Amino acid sequence: MSAADARARSADVRVDFRLIAEMVAPGSRVLDVGCSDGALLALLTDARNVDARGIELSREGVAQAVARGLAVIQGDADTDLDDYPDDAFDYVILSQTLQATRNPRRVLEQMLRIGQRAIVSFPNFGHWRMRMQVFFGGRMPVTENLPFNWWDTPNIHFCTIRDFLALVDLIGARMERAEALDDAGKPITLNLPWWAWNIIGQQGLFLLSRRD
């Protein structure tokens, strides 16, 4: 791919994907868990020259990623991470997928077993719009980040930013970087405490590592 083609592809990439790419060191070994159509892996390959691998549950996603020339296999985050050896990757990424796993704690622990670092992003169920829809409407929220109705959603473990912080503490992981993102996927740059991020952040994005 030419430099011009790479720049054109990067211009179409989601803002939060670019932020994830900034967290990944060039030339790293990367596994993207729940990689969908491979858009993030393609960005990491182009921009960071990583050794990119992915697993994706849906056949359609695998087919689209493979069509991009990516090394992606069909797999389930809840069961197939067991097959990878310790320290197989420098980074294991779980982007907008944690809430769709059956056992989020185990998935996160497995990510930190097979990777030196884990990058996790998820929609924040504590966002003020979510709270308003439940409080005033009395129904499960439907938003741009969570566009499903309660009866057809793939998301089975909703969490807030504060919930995730509690899980990070429970498993004894180190938080190297944390971002709350707005509705455009851009970092919220205001110097605010976590409880405020939990209200105004539409997404959480975290870079984690194991404690010594």
Write out pLDDT tens, residues 40-71: 999 999 999 999 999 999 999 999 999 999 99
Helix (H, G, I), strand (E, B) or coil at 64: helix
**Which SS3 state, helix, strand or coil, does residue 32 take?**
strand
**pLDDT band per the 50, 70, 90 thresholds, residue 105:** very high
Give, in order, the Cα–Cα distances in Å from 203 to each of 99, 111, 128. 12, 20, 12
Q: Could you name the CATH architecture of 3-125+156-210?
A: 3-Layer(aba) Sandwich (3.40)
Residue 3 is predicted with a pLDDT of 41
For residue 31, the model assigns a pLDDT of: 98
pLDDT (mean) for 98-119: 96
pLDDT tens-place string over residues 5-39: 443 344 456 788 999 999 999 999 999 999 999 99
Task: Evaluate the CA torsion angle 29, 186, 56, 157 in order and state its sign.
Answer: positive
Domain boundaries defined on the chain: 3-125+156-210
pLDDT at position 153: 66
pLDDT in tens, 109-162: 999 999 999 999 999 988 878 788 877 787 776 777 777 776 766 666 788 999
pLDDT (0 to 100) of residue 12:
55
At residue 182, the pLDDT reads 86
Q: Write down the H helix ranges in 12-147.
A: 15-23, 39-48, 59-67, 77-80, 104-114, 128-132
pLDDT of residue 155: 66
Q: What is the pLDDT of residue 8?
A: 36
**What is the rounded CA–CA span in Å between residue 20 and residue 205?**
8
pLDDT at 212 over 50: yes
Cα 34 to Cα 54: distance, rounded to the nearest angstrom:
7
